[in-house]
Structure 1
């Protein structure tokens, strides 16, 4: 784990109040002019937190009055740190927000609504914009996106007598059987059987079947017929021995993909780089394809938004910095540094993003990917679905019983 330095908040907060200029009229909040001498405090998570400091240096060269102080925060402690800072009234000016808890902070009034005159919804993937929206108001500007597509071994597919990628969910199950029977694979498909975030493995099945956890209005619908059918389909991989029912925390699927023990898995964009870097001999023996269609081909949308603290006295500078990070140029630069997929659609029009066939599959999948509507208790809501998945894959419950149980638990958690 990376050492996470303690945020140097007090100095920044003192400086902020000393420099703040009283706004005329309006909400009576004090906010410094964007060009004034000031320090902007920024929290970002994981790898993003580490890489953002370099971008901040470049930004400072063009904005000499603004000192951008980036604090990297580990994802494992991010939620508790944000909650504690919000309670103490000491949130940074700008913070990266994972989609699962934006609703919680918007609900407590800790976030400044997005200036929709400066940031245009149409510039971003629909699912990315929706993740930053709570109760009809936008609180987060999309920073990067994430979705899952199918990775499969093309050389072993030939051995198994398969032509191309599985186009439907029925094809996917048949392909898993063929890889096992004819291409020596130990498992047909890697999907997570239980544990935290098993729901992320389940989304392609759920959404493609036409199911959802919450409808667009935020009402729980996880025991609807489409969702039940999707979980039955998911459970069949375990009942038929096509997927491993043992949950291994921290499991790295790329090792088994390399040996051929696992010929197919659903993965995010970072997996492309991992495979290229760690298994160069595998080049030309694997490909990515869209999620196989049931009713349609729909995957999950993930990623992060950038938000401004409602209490910040540097809102103008914060807005300027976020604009720099989320315009097409800033997004293309960020992709080169991190391989995070741009949320801004215009960033995809040039360079590697426009020409790489693997990236094209991710882009197409993002166009109609789905995100859960923001809710204050989203992490608890999805954990109820994790439990339902586990009980089905371990054979202790039918899909219907498991989802009925999840539905009633989620009904008690919805705002």
Structure 2
């Protein structure tokens, strides 16, 4: 998921949290799975647009079920979810991004996952953790997202780079070589500031052994490892290897195509964008794992599927979620969308099992990390965004910026 700006009012969120905690899960036994019924589903972005086709196929095999899918834009998703939760009108099944789940689970509007049906071991560890909050699981992993390194292989030859950088030191060396020997404008595209800068920083942070919150939800963003990671990140801007300005709506693939940017960290959807928009670039680029510091660790994103605590159709909703998150359904979804399967069994089939490039994504997901779910997760990560920008713009040292973020985040975490 690309996290959207939260547009719902804070007052409404707080009010819904207070009023809904007591009412979640009051739907009783509800309608039997084999009864004739309509399931309502909200899904976001591209997934919302594509899910309707899958729903039609599902209905053919389940004559008693009508699946009504409502696509929701990520830019308005949070606002609509908060309003629906406050009114007790969440749909039966909701796609839930990782930055939202803790908030809505804390409200009491999500049904805990039946771990007798959905098994943690069937999914990537980070994907399962993303659907969990306060010791319980509320979301079944639907698809996953992580970041790997995209790099221009043709320009690498000009720069004297024989293979993809495997360490963080080699990454900076490659960025310098691209500029000096291949004549690229920049060495590496990483985000200098603004919303979700933290998603660009995670690769440096996690690989250095740092984190924003530890596994217990305690703020640790000013650890020695995190400071080291931010110093490394900031050095790209200090040395002129990365662009300091923030361009609204910036599309890195355009500069990747022209050669102005020879390297960047990107998600799996970038592959399709490059193939479709820049076919002449085929054979001139490749992907590689995140260069290692202490280890090669990337962020984990994606979405889970959740069931409303007040749904009268929980049994049928659970069967639909089981279909969408099972290995067969995940392979079908990948073929339709190129979303990476969260269910590891899906990776034993077809291209997912044999394609060398896809195996890079698979390997990266094995060690990918997420921030433990928190009700105020968006506010927490925004503090890190601010800290990063203060360093990339030369306004403070990494330690000063992260000490400030640590103090602010400590007041937001729920333990």
Q: Shorter-chain TM-score: which interval?
A: over 0.9
Q: Distance in 2 between matches of 1:163 and 1:47?
A: 37
Q: Distance in 2 between matches of 1:255 and 1:70?
A: 34
Q: Distance in 2 between matches of 1:223 and 1:248?
A: 28
Who is 1:247 aligned against?
246
Q: Distance in 2 between matches of 1:376 and 1:128?
A: 18
Once structures 1 and 2 are overlaid, which stretch shifts more, 281-290 or 27-36?
Answer: 27-36
Deviation at 1:27, TM superposition (A): 7.2
Offset from partner CA, 1:109-141 (integer Å, 9 cap, x none): 000000001111111000000000101100000
Who is 2:343 aligned against?
344
| Structure 2 CA distance for partners of 1:60 and 1:220, relative to 1, 3 Å | same
Greater than 2 Å deviation, 4+ residue runs: none
Deviation at 1:357, TM superposition (A): 1.6
Tell me, yes or no, if structure 1 residue 195 matches structure 2 residue 203: no
Who is 1:111 aligned against?
110
Deviation at 1:281, TM superposition (A): 1.2
Offset from partner CA, 1:175-215 (integer Å, 9 cap, x none): 00000000010000000000000000000000000000000
Tell me, yes or no, if structure 1 residue 62 matches structure 2 residue 61: yes
Q: Distance in 1 between matches of 2:137 and 2:161?
A: 46
TM-score (norm 2): 0.93
Who is 1:238 aligned against?
237
Q: Distance in 1 between matches of 2:217 and 2:33?
A: 37
Alignment of 1:6-405 (within 5 A): 29-405=28-404
Q: Distance in 2 between matches of 1:87 and 1:42?
A: 17
Deviation at 1:28, TM superposition (A): 7.2
Once structures 1 and 2 are overlaid, which stretch shifts more, 28-37 or 84-93?
Answer: 28-37
Q: Distance in 2 between matches of 1:228 and 1:360?
A: 31
Say which SS state the counterpart of residue 364 (structure 1) adopts: helix
Q: Distance in 1 between matches of 2:380 and 2:282?
A: 39
Offset from partner CA, 1:288-321 (integer Å, 9 cap, x none): 0000000000000000000000000000000000
Q: Distance in 2 between matches of 1:135 and 1:75?
A: 25
Q: Distance in 2 between matches of 1:392 and 1:137?
A: 37
Q: Distance in 1 between matches of 2:248 and 2:294?
A: 32
Q: Distance in 2 between matches of 1:246 and 1:42?
A: 40
Offset from partner CA, 1:88-123 (integer Å, 9 cap, x none): 011100000000010001001000000001111111
Offset from partner CA, 1:20-43 (integer Å, 9 cap, x none): xxxxxx977141000101110000
Q: Distance in 1 between matches of 2:411 and 2:80?
A: 26
| Structure 2 CA distance for partners of 1:89 and 1:28, relative to 1, 3 Å | closer
- Give the superposed CA RMSD: 1.0
Say which SS state the counterpart of residue 358 (structure 2) adopts: helix
Q: Distance in 2 between matches of 1:156 and 1:191?
A: 19
Offset from partner CA, 1:141-200 (integer Å, 9 cap, x none): 000000000000111111101110001000000000000000010000000000000000
Q: Distance in 2 between matches of 1:27 and 1:203?
A: 39
8 Å contact 2:144–2:342 — kept in the other structure?
Answer: yes
Who is 2:405 aligned against?
406
Q: Distance in 2 between matches of 1:400 and 1:333?
A: 47
Q: Distance in 2 between matches of 1:347 and 1:398?
A: 45
Deviation at 1:372, TM superposition (A): 0.5
Offset from partner CA, 1:326-346 (integer Å, 9 cap, x none): 111100000011110000001
Q: Distance in 2 between matches of 1:74 and 1:153?
A: 33
**Aligned residues between the structures:** 390
Q: Specify every segment of 5 or more residues in structure 2 that has no aligned partner in the other structure, as ranges.
A: 1-24
Q: Distance in 1 between matches of 2:116 and 2:164?
A: 43
Q: Specify every segment of 5 or more residues in structure 1 that has no aligned partner in the other structure, as ranges.
A: 1-25
8 Å contact 2:120–2:128 — kept in the other structure?
Answer: yes
Say which SS state the counterpart of residue 150 (structure 1) adopts: strand
Deviation at 1:84, TM superposition (A): 0.5
Say which SS state the counterpart of residue 41 (structure 2) adopts: strand
8 Å contact 2:27–2:309 — kept in the other structure?
Answer: no
